[in-house]
Structure 1
Amino acid sequence: MILRRYLTGIFLGWTAAVLLGLVVLLQLLDLLDKTSEVLQRGGPADIGRYALLRLPTMLGQLIPLAVLVGAILTFRRLAGTLEITALRALGLGAWRILGAVLPACVLAVALQAALLLAIAPRTERALADWWDSQGVEGQPVALAQRLWLRNGAEIVSVEAASLDGRSLAGILLVRRDAEGRALERIDARRAIHGPEGWRLLQLRLVRPGETRPQSLAELAWADGPSPEAIRDLARPIAAQPLDRLLAGQRGEGAVTRGPAFYATRLQAVTATMVAPFVMLLLAAPAAFGLPRQADGYRRGGIGLALGLGYLVVNGLLNAMGEAGGLGPHLAAWTAPLVFALVGLLRLWHEEA
């Protein structure tokens, strides 16, 4: 218990210091790029607002890297003071030492899950809404590119959407049957969401077999997507809550991506939770070697290179999975399993 508390304290101290340093550095770089745009949307106080809303996303993304560097520094410090040598002389192997800092990794995983799945989706949405708040409230704002989405059996396209998602312009709506055959096509100039739901305004309706379109002043759109879904799809954010990913995988509600994207993202979120443990394995060989041996620093450098390689390879495989080029499980779990195996083999080699 005393050993666990001692090693956990050192490890958490180094990891927190590294995390703070990385966040401050990235925040400064981000603010250098965005300060002029932030000032155009408000005053100097909004710089702090922007930085605060960006903070949860940065923290969640940097935790695995902070665990890697923090573990390397912790093990090098213990090796430098010969504490590792003393522990091994007492019969404590590398696995006992790693087990002593395991609770700190569990804490890092819990913090990462809370940031990426609960806090970051809210702060990113708040930042996106504030960033786009220069438009006239309640009036459709032209999108950078036309939005296409699937809403149940319907195919919907929108040219402009208000910031709250309750007013649309340039709507194309194709209604289909259960087998995917088009039942009717609707071109509407406007759509407004009120207490009774959506109303399409100034529209033309065409059905298969009819030679002339029907012109209507108004038509109810009972099965239309929710304003919140329109808002989120028209101005998407990177962080997605767990319930949205699960609904997207099942094809429920309005979506702009196929099932492969949501299935891969779900697996990737789960795999991200094991990243701190993989980083700890990759950093463990840094504990071996005597203080004056350059070989100890080489071990730490190899661990750092492997950790950065893991982040790069994992990101590439996830992107391929989201595009449908790889299966969700293969895309999300290949990098964690391969690099964890590499860490285990390196640790076994040091113990042999």
Structure 2
Amino acid sequence: MINFNFFPSRRLAFYTGKLFLTRGIAVLFSLSLVLMMLNLLSESSKILAVPGNTNAEVWHYVALRLPQIVAFAFPFSFLLGTLIVFVTLNQNSEVIAMKAAGLSAHQVIAPLILVSVVLAGVSFAFDEYVVTKATAELSAWDGNDYKPLPPESLVTSNVWVTNGDDMVRADLVIGRGAATRLQGVRLYDRQGNSIARIIKAERAVQVPGAWQLQNVTVYDSGQNMIRKLPTLRELVGVEPGRFTLAKIDPETRSLGRLRDNIAELRAAGRQTDAVETGLWHKISEPLSTILMPLLAAVAAFGLARSGQVLARAAIGMALGFAYFVADNFALAMGNVGAYPPLLAAWAPFLLFLLIGETVLVRSEE
């Protein structure tokens, strides 16, 4: 007799939900630790190569990089955690016992889905309040070759803008609005298809209608000579918003700040597809945790003695990998404007929700 109660047994729901949570956290801890160690092997030498940097800077790097790794590994860890739970339950014939007691496939995975909803909320909050701040600081620090950063919180690295035929690169853009200043400025003065001058300056500050470059080195290709100047007035008519809006990385901004950036881009008459895609993806990405029990459920059903448990687990893992590939592909298409932002952010989630539900229904049949 089929039990139509969504959670027919509180004890059973707690048992399976606890298994899912503990296995997923264990995989997340192990995977994050391994990825952090591998990343540290490649970056620690770069950090310590900067004069004045010590082990304290290495640990600071770990504190900034680890939240990114945890956020990256979060959904995949719970996919593996679900597979471990379902394979174990299947091999111990516990799923058979549940089915014999009248539970449907949906009722078996319902506790895991409930825990996944909570985990999705935790993932969203962690990304909004921890990962974005850590990513913004790490991106600026990495862009500055791990040299000390200014104390301001609004710092963007490696920004390119165009001014007519000229191209301008700033190592760091610090502040916003009238307080914006630049560090490590390179101006490529182009005339036709050739570069007439290359201007390098340690910093640039705003003056009425232009920017004042300080500690300037000018290479003149026509005269093949180098001049050094204390100051130089350049970039006439270039607004500070050209620098602050030239590079908007959704990974380094909260939802509220992204909405403000979209409004600023629209006011400036610029494309917002990439930023809007990133905004919607910030909502859809944490929800991917909800898909993991559904995609891995194929490993729970079927007789263990049939010898197909590992094959079913491989199918569940393949479905999870396929989701991440499709999600990254759609995100890339949204960033270049090939897909509308809503479609790019939500299509993979909805598609694999239908695939997972179809596989679950077929498994139950």
TM-score interval (norm. to shorter):
0.7 to 0.9
1:276-330 deviation digits (Å, cap 9, x = unpaired): 1222111112111233332122111101011001101110111011101111222
Number of positions where the alignment pairs a residue of Structure 1 with one of Structure 2: 313
Task: In structure 1, give the amino acid aligned to 2:362.
Answer: H
Q: 1-side partners of 2:300 and 2:40: how far apart?
A: 37
Q: Give the alignment's TM-score, normalised by structure 2.
A: 0.73
**Secondary structure, counterpart of 1:277 in structure 2:** helix
1:180-329 correspondence runs (5 A): 191-192=204-205, 200-201=211-212, 224-225=240-241, 230=244, 238-252=251-265, 258-329=271-342
Q: 2-side partners of 1:327 and 1:234: how far apart?
A: 20
**Secondary structure, counterpart of 1:134 in structure 2:** coil
Cα deviation for residue 52 of structure 1 reads 1.7
Work out which of the residue numbers 49, 58, 77 in structure 2 matches 1:66.
77
Task: In structure 1, give the amino acid aligned to 2:135.
Answer: E
The answer to whether the aligner puts 1:160 opposite 2:173 as a matched pair is no
Out of 251-260 and 308-317, give the one that drifted further: 251-260
Q: Which consecutive unaligned segments of at least 5 residues does structure 1 have?
A: 151-155, 173-188, 203-215
Aligned to 1:27: 36
Cα deviation for residue 270 of structure 1 reads 2.0
Aligned to 1:96: 107
Work out which of the residue numbers 95, 102, 106 in structure 2 matches 1:84.
95
Q: Give the alignment's TM-score, normalised by structure 1.
A: 0.76
Cα deviation for residue 10 of structure 1 reads 0.6
Task: In structure 2, give the amino acid aligned to 1:326.
Answer: Y
Task: In structure 2, give the amino acid aligned to 1:17.
Answer: A
Work out which of the residue numbers 1, 16, 25 in structure 2 matches 1:16.
25
Query: Does structure 2 conserve the Cα–Cα contact (< 8 Å) formed by 1:60 and 1:116?
Result: yes
Q: 2-side partners of 1:149 and 1:248: how far apart?
A: 20
**Closer, same or farther in 2 for the Cα pair 1:334/1:253, shift >3 Å?**
closer
User: Identity of paired residues, percent?
Assistant: 28
Aligned to 2:362: 349
Cα deviation for residue 258 of structure 1 reads 2.2
The answer to whether the aligner puts 1:43 opposite 2:54 as a matched pair is yes
Q: 2-side partners of 1:146 and 1:37: how far apart?
A: 22
**Closer, same or farther in 2 for the Cα pair 1:297/1:157, shift >3 Å?**
same
CA-based RMSD of the aligned residues comes to 3.8
Q: 2-side partners of 1:69 and 1:55: how far apart?
A: 20
Q: 1-side partners of 2:280 and 2:59: how far apart?
A: 34
1:142-181 correspondence runs (5 A): 147-148=160-161, 158-160=168-170, 162=172, 164-165=174-175, 166-168=180-182, 169=185
Aligned to 1:184: none
